[in-house]
Amino acid sequence: MISTALAGRLKDAGLVWKPADGDRFHIDAPDLGADVFTVSTMTIEAHHFPTGTVLGFNGTTEWALDSVSIEDTLWLPREDQLRDLLGGTFRGLRHDDGAYVVDVDLLGEQRTFSAPEAADAYGEALLALVDLSTAD
């Protein structure tokens, strides 16, 4: 799973989350910071309104939380989601000397990103892509 710190950097850089079944997230609240939640039709559903997206907690949860604004959450994208978001820039993933290495082509420049976990290597590559796309 992607690290919380990297997920936060992606959010701060402008990565937009459109919640779907199976997505994992944290809630920005002191008592819930370590908990990971999963969007699921049975328990947590994304409700889209003109004013924004709200994650609604259905009655099957053990504690009383009706809903949370998407702005108060931190999406923890899966490895496959990160790879999909890299799109045509993605060139490959390899394991090299104990680290996972993601190769990408960013505006014609071949770049590599490595991390102990594949998801974090993908995340670092995506962060570089998001930074390029939002640069002035």
What are the pLDDT digits (tens) for 36-55? 888 877 667 777 888 887 77
Domain ranges of the chain: 18-76, 79-134
Report the predicted TM-score, pTM, of the whole model to 2 decimal places. 0.82
Q: In what order do the strands lie in the sheet with 109-115?
A: 90-96, 99-106, 109-115
> Which DSSP category does 93 fall into?
E
What are the pLDDT digits (tens) for 79-134? 999 999 999 999 999 999 999 999 999 999 999 999 999 999 999 999 999 999 88
- Return the beta strands (E) in the chain as ranges: 24-27, 37-38, 44-49, 52-57, 67-69, 73-76, 90-96, 99-106, 109-115
| Helix, strand, coil percentages, rounded to 5, for the chain | 30, 35, 35
CATH number of 79-134: 3.30.160
Distance from C-alpha of 76 to C-alpha of 111, rounded to nearest angstrom: 23
> Are 11 and 129 in contact, with CB atoms under 8 Å apart?
no
Helices and strands (H, E) in the chain, number of each type: 3, 9
Which residue, among 23, 20, 14, has the nearest Cα to 79 in the 3D structure? 23
